[in-house]
Amino acid sequence: LWPLAGAAQDFPALYDVTGVAADDVLNVRATPDASGAILTTLPPRATDIEVIRVTGPGADAWGWIGLPEGNGWVAMRFLARQ
């Protein structure tokens, strides 16, 4: 169990949007799932996104992000840690 402790990431942390097509957006949702209501969107080259916490490790993780207009959830597979 001790080796896994070193893999944990500290939050909050800054991330950049990645893997989103130039003509698309990243949805910020009210709940951590693809069917959650869309609160706002982030452009494909958005930077300095503050991730406060995540639902867990892996490709299916969702991040709780802080925005000037409020908080919401984004799929972590579209964010890269700075």
What pTM was estimated for this model as a whole? 0.86
pLDDT tens-digit series, residues 52-75: 999 988 889 999 999 888 899 999
What per-residue confidence (pLDDT) applies to 1?
A: 42
What per-residue confidence (pLDDT) applies to 5?
A: 42
- Which tokens is 57 given? 């490790």
Question: Which residues of the chain, if any, have pLDDT below 70?
Answer: 1-9
Gap between the Cα atoms of 6 and 69, Å rounded: 34
Q: How far is CA 46 from CA 2, 4, 15, 62, 80, in A?
A: 35, 30, 9, 17, 11
Residue environment code for 6-20, b if the CB has 16+ CB neighbours within 10 A, otherwise e: eeeeeeebebebeeb
What per-residue confidence (pLDDT) applies to 39?
A: 96
